Amino acid sequence: MNDPHQQDIASHIHPQSNLNNHEHTGPMIMSHGEGVHVFDHAGNKYIDAVAGLWCASLGYSDQALIDAATRQLKQLPYFQTSASKSNEPAIELASRLLAMAPVPMSKVLFQNSGSEAIDTAMKLVWYYQNIRGKPMKKKIISRRQGYHGTSVAAASLTGLAGMHKHFDLPIAGIIHVDCPHYYRSGNKGETELEYASRCISAIEQEIIEQGAETIAAFFAEPIMGTGGVIVPPQSYFEKLHGVLKKYDILLVADEVICGFGRTGSTWGSQTVGMVPDMITCAKALSSAYMPISALMISDDIYQKLKSGSDDVGVFGHGYTYSGHPVCAAVALETLKQYENRNLFEHIRVVAPGLQEGLREFRDHPLVGEVRGVGLMAGLELVQDKATKQSFDPALKMGARVAAHAETKGVIVRALGDTLVFAPPFIITESQIVEVVQVIGQALDDTLHELTGDQLKIS
Taking 50 as the pLDDT cut, the residues of the chain under it are 1
pLDDT at 8: 85
d(CA 381, CA 401): 10
Which helix (H) or strand (E) covers residue 380, if one does? Answer: strand 376-381
Q: What is the pLDDT of residue 458?
A: 67
Q: Please, is 83 exposed, middle or buried when counting C-beta atoms within 10 Å of its C-beta (0-12, 13-18, 19+)?
A: exposed
Determine the Cα–Cα distance for residues 7 and 22; give it in Å rounded to an integer: 12
List, for residues 183-242, the tens digit of each pLDDT value: 999 999 999 999 999 999 999 999 999 999 999 999 999 999 999 999 999 999 999 999
- What is this structure's pTM? 0.95
Instruction: Please return the burial class of 212, using the count of CB atoms within 10 Å of its CB with bins 0-12, 13-18 and 19+.
Output: middle
Residue-level pLDDT at 167: 96
Q: Domain spans of the chain?
A: 4-61+342-452, 65-340
Alpha-carbon dihedral 122, 127, 128, 129, rounded to 10 degrees = 90
Please tell me the predicted confidence (pLDDT) of residue 417: 96
Q: How many CA atoms lie within 13 A of 195 on its CB side?
A: 18
CB-side neighbour CA atoms (13 Å) of 189: 0
Burial class (CB in 10 A: 0-12, 13-18, 19+), 364: middle
380 sits in the region (left: phi over 0; alpha: psi -120 to 50; else beta) called beta
24-to-1, 122, 197, 217, 458 alpha-carbon distances in Å: 21, 39, 48, 44, 34
**What's the confidence (pLDDT) of residue 22?**
87
Q: How many CA atoms lie within 13 A of 113 on its CB side?
A: 9
DSSP structure string for 77-122: S-----TT---HHHHHHHHHHHHH-SS---EEEEESSHHHHHHHHH
In this prediction, residue 75 carries a pLDDT of 98
Angular region, 194: left φ>0, alpha ψ -120 to 50, beta rest: alpha
The burial class, CB within 10 Å (0-12 / 13-18 / 19+), for 39 is middle
Question: What mean pLDDT, rounded, does the chain reach?
Answer: 96
CATH of domain 65-340: 3.40.640.10
* Count of CB atoms situated within 10 Å of the CB of 456: 8
Q: Which CATH superfamily is domain 4-61+342-452 in?
A: Aspartate Aminotransferase, domain 1 (3.90.1150.10)
Contacts of 437 (CB under 8 A, 6+ apart): none
Q: How far is it, in rounded angstroms, from Cα 148 to Cα 336?
A: 27
Q: Is 133 left (phi over 0), alpha (psi -120 to 50) or beta?
A: left
Nearest-angstrom CA–CA distance, 202 and 205: 5
Q: Look at residue 151 in the predicted model and tell me its pLDDT.
A: 97
- Per-residue pLDDT reduced to its tens digit, 361-393: 999 999 999 999 999 999 999 999 999 999 999
CA 103/CA 276 separation, integer angstroms? 7
What are the angstrom distances between the C-alpha of 66 and each of 69, 110, 281, 293? Answer: 5, 21, 21, 19
User: 74 with 98: CB under 8 angstroms?
Assistant: no
Distance from C-alpha of 75 to C-alpha of 118, rounded to nearest angstrom? 31
Q: Which amino acid is at 245?
A: K
> Cβ distance 86 to 323 under 8 Å?
yes
Distance CA 299, CA 98 (A): 12
Contacts of 46 (CB under 8 A, 6+ apart): 37, 38, 39, 40, 406, 409, 410, 411
What does residue 354 show for φ and ψ, rounded to 5 degrees?
A: -75, -50
